[in-house]
Amino acid sequence: MQPEIELVTLAKAGDMQAFQRLVELNSGKMYGAAYRILKNKEQAEDCVQEAFLKMHLKLDTFNQQSKFSTWLYSVTVNVALDLLRKNAKHAQCSDYDFDQIPSASTNSPEKAALLSNIGRVTERAISQLNDDLRVAFILRHYEERSIEEISQILELNASTVKSRIFRAVGRLRKTLQPKVGDYETLD
């Protein structure tokens, strides 16, 4: 198996098999990131296709100062953000009614339901963050990217990235805390 950087060099030289191998190696990760941002299977697939098209067209601009995966995430995240902005013009997201979620202090059937749905509830809360906060949070906590990588992907300084992640966590805590409480003590 060829190292990714060698595949990039070959793809830059016009080797379509090397480009195809880059697509195979990265499409799953790109789809995961796009889906977490867009929350729509078809849009995530469209995003990945468009990102690979842009990657193919702009591969010669990749200067190897950062990791290829970081550069590729940057392309994918920017395409996803463009799609979000485009979609925002056409439809408003419906507000999720967090008051319909049972609080952590209710009886055990409700507690069991709360715990089984905590992932869904958290995803809804994340989807209500503004794009800047949500993308930074997703890249850090779902994609497990470093602050430095996120800075490169979003073309922001590290302190701005840290601030966005901190604000996202604070808003999530504020939204979720009244509903989930101390779920660790619900054993």
pLDDT in tens, 99-145: 444 444 445 566 555 555 677 777 888 888 998 999 999 999 988 88
84/133 Cα distance (integer angstroms): 13
pLDDT at 115: 57
Same domain membership, residue 180 and residue 99: yes
CATH of residue 73: 1.10.1740.10
State whether 85 and 114 are in the same domain. Answer: no
Q: Are residues 80 and 147 in the same domain?
A: no
| 59 plus 137 within the same structural domain | no
Instruction: Report the SS3 class of residue 160.
Output: helix
| 15 and 70 belong to one structural domain | yes
Given 92, 112, 132, the domain boundary residue is 92
Verify that 113 and 159 share a domain, yes or no: yes
Number of domains in the chain: 2
The verdict on 86 and 99 lying in the same domain is no
Instruction: Say which CATH number the domain at 112 has.
Output: 1.10.10.10
Tokens 């419906």 label which residue? 94
Q: What is the Cα 25 distance to its own chain's centre?
A: 18
- Distance CA(132)–CA(11), nearest Å, equals 32
The answer on 87 and 128 residing in a single domain is: no
Q: What type of residue is 106?
A: T
What integer pLDDT is reported at residue 125 of this predicted model? 86
Per-residue confidence (pLDDT) for residue 133, from 0 to 100: 93
- Asked whether residue 57 falls in the same domain as residue 38, the answer is yes
Spell out the residues 6+ positions from residue 152 whose beta carbon is closer than 8 angstroms to its own: 66, 70, 71, 74
Q: Name the residue range of residue 150's domain.
A: 95-187
* Residues lower than pLDDT 50 in the chain: 92-106, 185-187
Q: Are residues 50 and 82 in the same domain?
A: yes
Residue found under tokens 């999530």: 172
Domain's final residue, options 92, 107, 127: 92
Give me the half-sphere count of Cα atoms (radius 13 Å) on the Cβ side of residue 138: 28
User: Model pTM greater than 0.75?
Assistant: no
